[in-house]
Amino acid sequence: MEVLDKALEILRAYPLCDSCLGRQFAQLGFALENWERGRAIKTLVHMKLVSEYRSGADVLNDLVKLAKTHQPTRRFLSTVGVKAEEEKCYICGGLLADVEKYAEKAAEALRGVEFETFEVGSSLPRDILEREGEVVKRFLITTGESIKHEINRRIGRELLRRLPGKKVEKLRPNVVVKIDFTTGDVSVLKNPVLLEGIYLKLSRRTSQAKKFGGVKATLLEKLQYVRDIFGGVEHVIHAGGREDADARMLGTGRPVVVEVKQPARYRADVPPLVDSDVVFKPIGYVNREEVRRIKEKAKTDIKLYRALVLSERPLTAEELSKVSELSRRTVVQFTPRRIKRLSPKKKRVRMVYDIHARLVSPHVFELYVRCQGGLYVKEFIHGDGGRTTPSVAEILNAQLDVLELDVLAVE
C-alpha cells in the first residue's frame, strides 16, 4: 500500500508521534483524528514488518526505527532480545500529546465575556514550523494539513465541550482565543460589535463626530449609550456620507454603523434614541463588509436637499426660473475653500438630476436639489469663488449665501 510505504520512508528518517505522522495523510479518510490515523498506520506497518521479520527478511533496522515512537514494536523487539529506546517526536517534541490542556486556560480567559461564536488561533515556536516544513518538503507531502490547523481544531473542539451553546465561526467570530506556545500565554481578542441603524439630525448645532465652533453636541456622543449597553471601552461611527454640522438630516434618515470596541457582550436589546437633537433607530448587526458597502453606496446615493438662500440683489420669479437649466448637469468642484487644507487640489465630479426654486421674497428663495451623493451643495449654490462650476450663483449672476440646508431624503 502506498500510504504504508511512504509512512515507513518517513519513519526511517524521523521519529514522529502518532499525530504528526497521521497529519501527513490528513486528507485521506474522514472522521479520524490525526493521532488515530497515525496509530492505525503504525499498527499496519508493525504487522507488515513483524511478518516479514518472522519470514527471515532483513527488516530489523526498520523495526528499530518504528519502535522509537511505537510501544507495541518496542515490546516485540524485547521478546527477541533487542532493546529500542523511545524518542521524542521530531516535529512537535511531544507538544501534541496533551495540547487540549490549553483549553482550560482558554476557558478561564473567556470568563466574564458574553459571546456566541469563537475561533482559536495559535503561535508556535519557529523551530517546530521549520521542522514540519522540512518533512513536508523532503517527502513531497500533498495530503497533509498544518500543525497549527490541527492544534486550533483540537483546542476548539475541547472548548466546545467546556462551553456548551457556543459555536466555532471562521469568518467573523465574536472572539478569537490566541495561544502562544512559546510563552504558554493565552489571550482573548474581542472583535467589535457592529450595529447598523439610521439617524436623523434635528439640530443645526450637532455634528457627526467632532465639536467645533458653535457645535454643542455630536452624534458620536449621543450614541455612547450603545457602547455602554455592550460594555465596550470605546465606540466609533461609520456613516453613509455626512452632512455639515449646521445642516439637518431629515426624511428617512442616513445609515450609520456603531462600532463598539472591546465589548463585554455581543447580544443586547438596544432601544432607539429620541431627543431634541438626534433620533437613532437600530436595525441589526452587520459585518465589516456591510460597513464598506454602506460607505461606497454613499458615493452614488441620490440625495434630496432643501436650501434657504439669501441673494445680495433682488430677484424676480422669472430670473429664478433660470436655475432649471442646471437640471441634468454635471458639476465640477475643486475642494471647497473651507476644507481645502485637507486636499487642496482634489477635483470632484457629481451629477445634479433635478433642481427647483421658489421665491420667498425678493432677496430670499427656497431651493430643492436632487443630486448624486458627495456633491458639495453649499458650494454648488454660491459657487465658492469659481471653484465650483456651473453653480446657481453663476446662472443667476448674483452673490448668494446659504442660510439653511436640510437633507430631506437619501434614496
Annotated binding-site residues for substrate read 305, 376
Query: What number of CA atoms fall less than 13 Å from residue 217's CA on the CB side?
Result: 14
Q: What is the CB neighbour count within 10 angstroms for residue 213? A: 9
- What are the binding residues? 305, 376
CA–CA separation, 235 vs 224, rounded Å? 7
Query: Which region holds residue 81: left if phi is over 0, alpha if psi is between -120 and 50, else beta?
Result: left
CA–CA separation, 315 vs 145, rounded Å? 77
DSSP-derived pairing of the beta strands 117-123 and 329-334: unpaired
- Is the four-CA dihedral 378, 382, 385, 389 of positive or negative sign? positive
CA–CA separation, 270 vs 226, rounded Å? 7
With contact defined as beta carbons under 8 Å apart, do 188 and 178 qualify? yes
Distances (CA, A) of 147 to 107, 153, 272, 276: 22, 10, 48, 58
DSSP state of 114: B
Single out the catalytic residue among 180, 244, 354, 406: 244
Identity (one letter) of the amino acid at 16?
L
Please confirm, yes or no, whether 244 is among the known catalytic residues: yes
Residues 6+ away with beta carbon under 8 Å from 79: none
The grid coordinates listed for 107 are 476557558
CA–CA separation, 336 vs 361, rounded Å? 28
Give the residue carrying C-alpha cell 432643501: 306
Angle of the 34-54 helix axis to the 2-13 helix axis, nearest 10: 90
* Residues catalogued as catalytic: 244
